[in-house]
Amino acid sequence: MQTLTHDELKALTDWEQGPSISIYLPRHQAVSELGKDAIVLRNMLDEAETRLQNQGFGTAESRKFLEQARNIQNDDSFWELGSAQGLCLLLAPGAFHQFDLPYQCPQMLTVDDAFYISPLFYKVYEDDRFDVLAISPKAVRMIRHEKGSVSEIDLPENMPASLEEYSQGIELEESIQHHSASSGRAGREVAGIIHGHGVAKEQTEKLLGDYYEFLARQLENSQGSGSLPLILACAEKQQSLFRKHFHMNHLLQEGIATSPDQLSAQELIELARPIIKSHAQNSLHKAQEQFKNHLGTSRISHQLEEILQSAEQGRVEMLFVPIGSERWGQLPQDGELIETHDSKSPGDTALHNRAIRDTYRHGGTPYVINTEDMPDDQPLLAYFRW
């Protein structure tokens, strides 16, 4: 199961080259229902072919357009029982995307000038991509969890890989040099410091403090505004040494308070999972509370026309939409009221989907969530930046 990255979602959101076909299919989980999903997909592809031909496509051209989706329909091994609970297929000239979804999506087929991407934002705030920064005097590692895989990534340029590497080239005090255990290299002397070979405690603490401050500043200088959530793994007493110098808000307040030296990358990721899960839940909770705190003010709206125009202008900071919720109609002009429909009529646009696309394009957060998680009893809610 894969989580879409920001870049992937943005590319799908920005796509406007029709005809764009979007297919969402909830998958059955019972053995007795094996084979049903392939039949449903076949019927949906037949309907898509008809719609393409109604737009002027020839029979051969329509079938070629849908060929990759037909291959999935006819692949018996694809429909064997698995962990996927939903299927998304997005087809357009020069583009084909297949996503196995870890949730039951609403069944839907659209043929439009843009992809229908609303269900792909379901609980996107629960994105399981994150980084773990594991620090000790012996080593510095950056570990990434992304799309179910774990990998160690390169450290930022000029970031030392250990206290020994950091200390090389530093002119230590004469008293420290006096206690050298070998050649007098600063790096080798540091090992003596850390293991308490007779060096004053204050000198050890100062060197460690300088080391963590340098790491914090080098990492801060290398991080962009779109950085993944960062979880710090280091000994409890050393957490504060790094945190007091690192001020970017993607560093989570809760960390892994243990020495990471004897832990593998996978073990560190497992320790980080409860932290990232709690972070995701807090993200929605904070958004809900922020919305409720502004009820009755101009920062809040459930009016579809106002939300659509504000999303296009980049005013929507947070958008709340129940999964499966949609209204169809014409886009409003100059604040006019619009007539909406439960299903698509000729010339209609998927209005909730449009609000989600415009919100995300302008850096807002669409919360596509379960109905019971909506902060108010409305089919669409927005919190404005101003």
- Record the tokens describing residue 255, joined without a space: 């960390």
Grade residue 115 by pLDDT with cuts at 50, 70 and 90: very high
- pLDDT of 173: 42
Rg of the chain in Å (alpha carbons): 27
Does 111 have pLDDT greater than 50?
Answer: yes
Choice between 72 and 333, residue whose per-residue pLDDT is larger: 72
Min mean pLDDT across 138-142, 197-201, 267-271 is at 197-201
- SS3 for 120-168 is HHECHHHCCCEEEEEECCCCEEEEEEECCEEEEECCCCCCCCCHHHHHC
Report the alpha-carbon distance of residue 84 to residue 264 in Å, rounded: 29
Report the alpha-carbon distance of residue 256 to residue 235 in Å, rounded: 8
Average pLDDT (16-32) is 90
Does 127 have pLDDT greater than 80?
Answer: no
- pLDDT of 83: 80
- pLDDT of 224: 63
Does 254 have pLDDT greater than 80?
Answer: yes
Does 55 have pLDDT greater than 80?
Answer: yes
Report the alpha-carbon distance of residue 294 to residue 214 in Å, rounded: 41
- Record the tokens describing residue 251, joined without a space: 């560093």
Report the alpha-carbon distance of residue 205 to residue 358 in Å, rounded: 51
- pLDDT of 168: 79
Average pLDDT (260-285) is 92
Does 184 have pLDDT greater than 70?
Answer: no
| pLDDT digits 0-9 by tens, 200-231 | 677 778 888 999 999 999 998 887 655 789 99
Does 189 have pLDDT greater than 50?
Answer: no
**Average of per-residue pLDDT values in the chain:** 87
**Phi, psi of 287, rounded to the nearest 5 degrees:** -65, -45
Does 62 have pLDDT greater than 70?
Answer: yes
Percent of the chain beyond pLDDT 70?
90
| pLDDT digits 0-9 by tens, 290-305 | 999 999 999 999 999 9
- pLDDT of 50: 97
Choice between 258 and 127, residue whose per-residue pLDDT is larger: 258
- pLDDT of 197: 46
- pLDDT of 347: 86
Grade residue 316 by pLDDT with cuts at 50, 70 and 90: very high
Does 334 have pLDDT greater than 90?
Answer: no
Grade residue 174 by pLDDT with cuts at 50, 70 and 90: very low
- pLDDT of 226: 56
Does 17 have pLDDT greater than 70?
Answer: yes
Choice between 134 and 149, residue whose per-residue pLDDT is larger: 134
Assess whether the previous peptide bond of 375 is cis (omega < 30° from 0).
Answer: no
Does 145 have pLDDT greater than 50?
Answer: yes
| pLDDT digits 0-9 by tens, 354-383 | 999 999 999 999 999 999 999 999 999 999
Min mean pLDDT across 62-71, 177-186, 251-260 is at 177-186
- pLDDT of 222: 83
Give the dihedral sign, CA 252/254/257/263. negative
Does 183 have pLDDT greater than 80?
Answer: no
